[in-house]
Structure 1
Amino acid sequence: MTAEDRARRERVRLEAAEMFAAGVSAPVVAARPQAQGGATLDPQVELERGPAARGWDDQRWTLARIAVVIRELFDVDHTPRGAAYPLHRIGWFPRVPAARAAERDEEAITAWRTEGLTFQSQYAVVASQQVQDAGDRLGSAPGGPGKG
């Protein structure tokens, strides 16, 4: 091991000791990535800057975009699914926003729900009547239930 490697290892050890003293958990300390040249990068800081800071038009982090960022920062290739693993280690999980259409018509939705419930109620009444009729037919048949 060269003197430069020993110095880098000592620097990493001291950074880890500081993180432990600050109350950071062992898995988080172990998972902190090293950028090219040995500098420690915090991926959370990069993610919190947002996709727009890296040139994307909207504010959505996709796994494919995160894989690109990991490649640029750490020179490590990941598939989009593979990019999810380090994210989970630092506590980032997918959140899907409630996407609603811009042309959403609340009145039409309410009417549809009411019609749907009315249809379901009518269906339940018809089905109940059919079951009752079938039971009546069985009960009136010779040797059917209730007929000794």
Structure 2
Amino acid sequence: MRYPQGGGLTAERRAFRECIRTEAAAMFAAGRDNAVIAKLLRVSVRSVQRWRRAWRVGGQAALRSKGTAARPKLSESLFAVLEQELDKGPVAHGWDDQTWTLARIKTLLGRRFHKSMTPSAIAQMLRRHGWSHQVPARRAVERDEKAVAGWVRETWPLVEAPRRRSEPSSSLRTRQGSR
């Protein structure tokens, strides 16, 4: 179960797979055949062969999970600095409005930390640290809610086309009465 854009397994899936490898180690010690182990654990024979080689060299410790495959681009301390920069707002960094976009955050990462990340990786990193995706409500400052409600109640029904009533239909191409 891989994620797009080079992501890895979740912590739960890593722990689950480590349990399977631990079970395999017990079966290695019992002298079971690779094909039997693969069938019992529902994995490929090649995986069992690879695990057995690692087990012979390093024991059960060699089958433990080594954590995520890729290190994060930003350490926790650098992410704390990034959060401070984001809290300052886009205007403090030279943009005209108060909207943080992934492209702007990418630019900020390049300017401040000399790091380059894809927008999807940035979104993933922000989500991992508790940041949420928010869409600003685009409404005019001059908007009058009472006038809008009145228009919807009074004017819109006059503009909207009346709904057609459902009538019994005929399966023929022409209606019976039109012959």
TM-score (norm 2): 0.42
Higher helix share: 1
TM-score (norm 1): 0.49
